Amino acid sequence: MKILLAEDEPQLNHVINTALSSVHYEVTSVFNGEEAVEAAGKKRL
């Protein structure tokens, strides 16, 4: 399963990304809404 993670706090972004990756999710991490929209447009999520 693919997940788009948008979290502006770098440490929290890392913790969530690590947790989701450890249970085999494919995570795309971004740091704001603008990046989330851009990432969603580039990848099939």
Reported confidence tier of residue 45, pLDDT bands at 50, 70, 90: low
DSSP 2: E
What number of other Cβ atoms are within 10 A of residue 4's Cβ?
15
Q: Which domains does the chain have, with CATH numbers?
A: 2-42 (3.40.50.2300)
Which alpha helices (H) appear in the chain, and where do they start and end? 10-22, 33-42
**What does the block give as tokens for 37?**
């929209």
**What does the block give as tokens for 33?**
């809404």
Name the residue type at position 33: G
**What does the block give as tokens for 2?**
């693919």
For residue range 15-44, list pLDDT tens digits in order. 999 999 999 999 999 999 999 999 999 876
